[in-house]
Amino acid sequence: MSDNYAEVKRILANIRTIRTFVREVDYLFLVEAHEKLGVALEERKAEFECEQEELNKKEAKKKELLAFIASEGFTLEELNGNGITKRKKPPVHRKPKYTFEENGEMKVWSGVGRKPKPIEVALNEGKTLSDFLICSV
């Protein structure tokens, strides 16, 4: 059913397609469809205006509450978390697992994330990751 709606939406969104359709369909059918579409459009307009009115009321109430909170000397952060902030987890430091040489300098890689370019090149040449393993691992 949604495919039908998508097709109707595609047709109604393009003026050239609508003109082609109007030329090919009986005029009396078009008048009847226009009347029905007009009724449905008026109903949808009333729903839309009601939704907008609700959103405006909600926004006004939100502004009123924010003004009240500010007038009492509080901030949203104080009310939301009682002034307590969550601690961030410390980053996980992984031990180096592989070693490789880049520009004459020995470097290490933990095995997480993108492979360093020198390791990538060596793998393409036929080496394996085990060739780069650090012995103490």
Reported as a single tens digit per residue, the pLDDT across 27-51 is 999 999 999 999 999 999 999 999 9
- For residues 4-39, b (16+ Cβ closer than 10 Å) or e, as one string? eeeeeeeeeeeeeeeeeeeeeeeeeeeeeeeeeeee
DSSP secondary-structure letter at 133?
B
Task: Give tens-digit pLDDT for 69-127.
Answer: 889 888 888 877 765 666 788 888 888 899 988 888 899 999 888 999 999 999 999 99
**Four-CA torsion 24, 29, 34, 40, nearest 10 degrees:** -120
Helix axes 15-24, 2-12, angle to 10 degrees: 100
User: pTM for this structure?
Assistant: 0.47
What percentage of the chain has pLDDT greater than the value 70? 93
Domain boundaries, the chain: 2-77, 98-132
